[in-house]
Amino acid sequence: MDYLQNTWYAAAWSEDVVAGTMFARTIAEKPLVFFRDRDGGLVALLDRCPHRFAPLSLGLLEESTVQCRYHGLRFDGAGTCIGNPHGPITKSHVVPSFPVVERHTLIWVWLGDQTRADPATIPDMSYHDDVPATAFNKGYLHANASHLLMVDNILDLTHADYMHTETLGNGWITRSRSRVEETDDTLFIEWLGFDEPPTPLYIPEFAPGTLTDVWLSVLWYPSGAMILRSGMSLPGQKREEGLDTWNSHIMTPETATSTHYFHSSTRNYRVDDEAYNQAMYQGLRWAFETQDRPMIEGQQKRIGNTDILKLSPVLMRTDGAPVRARRMLERQIAAEATPPLRPPVYAEAKSS
């Protein structure tokens, strides 16, 4: 499978990479190892010694260097060999290193052209940063399905009306007005409902019989980072005055048919209620593990090693965002594979 290279992939939650230890994770089929140097700075290296292809993550981390525990080559955080007990160090004694940034409690890695690795393009998930611990929950899940199917799932939230009827769906998303906006780099979809009863999860927050204005939106960054906002307000209220949540749903490809899923939820109500916070966390995991994941892994089995869009699925209005996201991603991957246009030498000669 071709993966987007010039993008920041979420690789881990910040706390997954503990000082003094190494953390191994495969992203887009590349085995990577992450660790912190003596100053706390992050390092991401290919988890493969150039000598015998042994996993560096089984090695020894000493200060800011890692020694392969097979034959003792030592590398610094740039992947430069700084110790070879067996002879001279040549320019081949090097491990590929990758730009890595810690931001918004996540660790992001860049696999592509390093001159283009601008941290400013990391999705703005600053709602992770300044939120009380009791109003913030997050986790990691794994699925044996393409991360593109996992993205489809979030970009068509009407599924909540049918799959998550105990929690998030009561039909309003299907009834809603939705719109999609596309930029060069992102895709945005919003669903707006009016005079809707709250969904089951939110019933306890309102007086019986209350109708609300309700809204949902997803901002997608290729290839799989999504910011999901969801809220509801009484008629006349501003959004910020109602229930307001910011959520991350980040799908990082492990392989063509497996996905690292990072999820989080923050909110502007019951912000001191840790029991509620835990219930929200458990609810999402229950929904994913018993509802979304079996469905998506079932899709994957029926699709096999191909692209669902090549199998003539019936497409509907609600597929607009998922299909546009895939098309945008395909264009970006194709652009990476195409060398930039240059005038041919002959033309240059002629014009001189």
Query: Contact positions toward a second copy, by CB under 8 A?
Result: 31, 48, 50-55, 58, 67-72, 84-87, 90, 92-93, 152, 156, 158-159, 161-163, 171, 174, 291, 294-295, 298-299, 301-303, 308, 311, 313-319
Residue 115 C-beta: closest distance to a second copy, Å: 25
Minimum separation from the CB atom of position 292 to a second copy (A) = 9
Min CB(321)–a second copy separation in Å = 13
Smaller CB separation from a second copy, 162 or 286: 162
Q: 293-303 vs 147-155: helix axis angle to the nearest 10?
A: 130
Q: How far is the CB of 96 from a second copy (least distance, A)?
A: 13
Q: Tokens at residue 310, please? A: 């090549």
How near is the Cβ of 157 to a second copy at its closest, in Å?
A: 10
The residue to which tokens 């835990």 are assigned: 278
> Could you give the CA distance from residue 328 to residue 347 in angstroms, rounded to a whole number?
33
**Up-side HSE of residue 158: CA atoms within 13 Å toward CB?**
13
Signed CA dihedral, 196, 197, 200, 206: sign only: positive
Residue with tokens 């690795």: 117
What letter represents residue 271's amino acid? V
Q: Smallest distance, Å, CB 166 to a second copy?
A: 12
Tokens of 84: 């070879």
CB of 285 to a second copy, least distance (A): 18
Q: Between 268 and 299, name the residue whose CB sits nearer to a second copy.
A: 299
Give the orientation angle of helix 147-155 with respect to helix 320-337, to 10 degrees.
Answer: 140
CB 253 within 8 A of CB 27: yes
In contact, 34 and 44? CB cutoff 8 Å: yes
**Paired tokens of 326:** 């895939």
- CA-wise closest residue to 287 among 252, 249, 316: 249
Q: How far apart are CA 204 and CA 101, in angstroms?
A: 40
Q: In terms of CB distance, is 60 or 335 closer to a second copy?
A: 60
Nearer to a second copy by C-beta: 27 or 243?
A: 27
- Neighbour tally for 67: CB within 10 Å: 19
Nearer to a second copy, 116 or 327 (CB): 327
Q: In angstroms, what is the minimal distance from the CB of 161 to a second copy?
A: 6
- Cβ proximity to a second copy: between 117 and 143 the closer is 143
Identify which of residues 75 and 220 has a Cβ nearer to a second copy in the complex.
Answer: 75
Which CB atom, from 82 or from 279, has the smaller least distance to a second copy? 82
- Single out the residue of 199, 305, 294 nearest to residue 256, CA to CA: 305
**Which phi and psi (to 5°) does residue 326 adopt?**
-65, -40
